[in-house]
Amino acid sequence: MSFQLPDLPFAKDALAPHMSAETLEYHHGKHHQGYVNNLNALIEGTEWEDKPLEAIILGAEGGIFNNAAQHYNHSFFWKCLKPGGGGRPQGALLEAVERDFGDFDTFVELFTRTATSQFGSGWGWLVKKDGRLEVMSTGNADTPMIRGATALLTVDVWEHAYYIDYRNARPKFIETVMQHLVNWDFVAENLERA
């Protein structure tokens, strides 16, 4: 099985001015493509060659795990974004957020603080685990599925996700994603399936 770079679910310039086409050209077209290329090269001729992505993530180690998980994390991240997104979710998702965090603003503050304070490269996540919503961060290629949690939302906090548009202002990038880009419909669908 050969993995492919998924198309973005929006045009490269559709997230401007919050995320530039240049950022997406590098982030999607270079970084994500690099993980896909590396993964395909690493699994060729191994026991992982015909396995689905999730099986590789749950069973492999080292470079194979890192590239498989980065492919998964990035593919998930693109779906978490949409033009004209952000704001507040509605319905069952908002109710779950209010139940588990007290209110939506408290959740956003916790999510932003957790993602901002991830040391080095990594990811900020909203997950469902043991029937409740939680916020977590993971370093490098780490992903919630290996921790028994179901991912609902992620924000990439590797520098390549924001450096062109925001330089070293990670908190501003996260704030902008939450206010203007989060695809709450996708997050709600993930909650329904969790």
Predicted local confidence at residue 1, as pLDDT: 75
CATH 3.55.40.20, the chain: domain bounds: 91-193
Amino acid of residue 189: E
What tens-digit pLDDT sequence spans the chain (194 residues)?
Answer: 799 999 999 999 999 999 999 999 999 999 999 999 999 999 999 999 999 999 999 999 999 999 999 999 999 999 999 999 999 999 999 999 999 999 999 999 999 999 999 999 999 999 999 999 999 999 999 999 999 999 999 999 999 999 999 999 999 999 999 999 999 999 999 999 99
Q: Is the pTM of this model over 0.95?
A: yes
Q: What would the pLDDT profile of 165-174 be if each residue is shown by its tens digit?
A: 999 999 999 9
Quick one: which of 132, 140, 137, 129 has its CA closest to 154? 137
Q: Cα separation of 68 and 113, whole Å?
A: 27
How far from chain centre, in Å, is Cα 84? 18
CATH 1.10.287.990, the chain: domain bounds: 21-79
Quick one: which of 38, 87, 94 has its CA closest to 66? 38
Q: What is the CATH topology of the domain spanning 91-193?
A: minor pseudopilin epsh fold (3.55.40)
Amino acid of residue 38: N
Q: What is the CATH topology of the domain spanning 21-79?
A: Helix Hairpins (1.10.287)
